A and B are shown apart, each in its own frame.
Chain A
Amino acid sequence: MSDDKSPEQRAPEQSPENVPAPTGQVGQVGVRTGMFGVSGTGDTSGYGGLVSAVTFPAPVQRPYGGWFDEVADALEAGTRAAGVEHALGDVVVHRGEITFHVRREDLVAVVKVLRDDPALRFEFCAGVSGVHYPEDTGRELHVVYHLGSMTWNRRIRLEVTAPDSDPHVPSVTGVYPAADWHERETWDMYGVVFDGHTALTRILMPDDWPGHPQRKDYPLGGIPVEYKGGSVPPPDQRRSYN
Chain B
Amino acid sequence: MSTTDAYAGTNETTEGRVFTVTGQDWDAISQGLAEEAEERVVVNMGPQHPSTHGVLRLILELEGETVTEARCGIGYLHTGIEKNMEFRTWTQGVTFCTRMDYLSPFFNEATYVLGVERLLDIEDDVPEKAQVMRVLLMELNRISSHLVAIATGGMEIGALTVMTMGFRERELVLDLFELITGLRMNHAFIRPGGVAQDLPVGALEEIRSFVALMKKRIPEYAALCNANPIFKARLEGVGHLDLEGCTALGLTGPVLRATGYPWDLRKTQPYSGYEDYEFDVQTWDTADAYGRFRVRLAEMWESLRIVEQAADRLAGLEGAPVMVADKKIGWPSQLSIGSDGMGNSLDHIKHIMGESMEALIHHFKLVTEGFRVPAGQAYVPVESPRGELGAHVVSDGGTRPFRVHFRDPSFHNLQATSVMSEGGQVADVIVAIASIDPVMGGVDR
Contact = CB atoms under 8 A, between A and B. Distances in A.
B112 interface: no
Given A95-B119, A97-B379, A214-B82, A177 B249 contact: yes
Contacts of B254: none
B304 to A, nearest CB: 27
A238 B444 CA distance: 28
B87 interface: yes
Interface in A88-130: 94-97, 99, 123-127, 129-130
A157 B269 contact: no
A179 B398 CA distance: 30
A181 B378 contact: no
A144 interface: yes
B402 interface: yes
Interface string B365-391: 000010000011111010000001010
Given A37-B398, A56-B376, A97-B378, A129 B392 contact: yes
Contact of B403 (A32, A131, A203, A205): A131
A77 interface: no
Contacts of B415: 177-178, 180-181
A95 B247 contact: no
Interface string A173-216: 00011111110010000000000000000111110000001100
A28 B311 CA distance: 48
Nearest to B365: A36
B412 A55 contact: no
Interface stretch (B61-69, B73-81, B201-209, B314-322): B73-81
A95 B407 contact: no
Q: A interface, by DSSP: helix, strand, loop or mixed?
A: mixed
A159 to B, nearest CB: 9
A137 to B, nearest CB: 16
A126 B376 contact: no
B392 A127 contact: yes
Given A150-B247, A177-B249, A213 B268 contact: no
Contacts of A29: 396
Contacts of A185: 411
Contacts of B390: 126-127, 146
B247 A126 contact: no
B379 A157 contact: yes
A150 B263 contact: yes
Given A131-B402, A181-B411, A213 B379 contact: no
A220 interface: yes
B118 interface: yes
Given A127-B390, A153-B269, A180-B415, A32 B407 contact: no
A127 B406 CA distance: 9
A177 B375 CA distance: 32
Contacts of A157: 377, 379
B121 interface: yes
B249 A178 contact: yes
A54 interface: yes
Interface in B381-438: 381, 388, 390, 392, 394, 396-400, 402-403, 405, 407, 411-412, 414-415
Nearest to A209: B75
A178 B412 contact: yes
Nearest to B395: A56
Contacts of B263: 150
Nearest to B370: A37
Given A181-B411, A205-B78, A32 B119 contact: no
A155 interface: yes
Contacts of B118: 95-97
B248 interface: yes
Interface string B11-30: 00000000000000000000
Given A178-B250, A178-B415, A181-B415, A55 B375 contact: yes
A94 B444 CA distance: 30
Nearest to B268: A153
A233 interface: no
A146 B75 contact: no
A30 interface: yes
Given A123-B247, A131-B402, A36 B412 contact: no
Given A56-B375, A155-B379, A213 B83 contact: yes
A234 interface: no
Given A144-B392, A178-B248, 7 more contacts: A32-B396, A54-B397, A57-B375, A99-B377, A146-B390, A153-B269, A220-B84
Report, nearest first, the 3 A-B pairs whose CB atoms are least far apart: A178-B250, A127-B407, A129-B405
27 contacts: A29-B396, A32-B396, A32-B397, A36-B369, A37-B398, A54-B375, A57-B376, A95-B119, A97-B377, A97-B379, A123-B247, A126-B379, A129-B392, A131-B402, A144-B405, A176-B248, A177-B250, A178-B249, A178-B415, A182-B412, A204-B75, A204-B445, A205-B75, A206-B75, A214-B403, A220-B80, A220-B83
Interface of A: 29-30, 32, 36-37, 54-57, 94-97, 99, 123-127, 129-132, 144, 146, 150, 153, 155, 157, 176-182, 185, 202-206, 213-214, 220
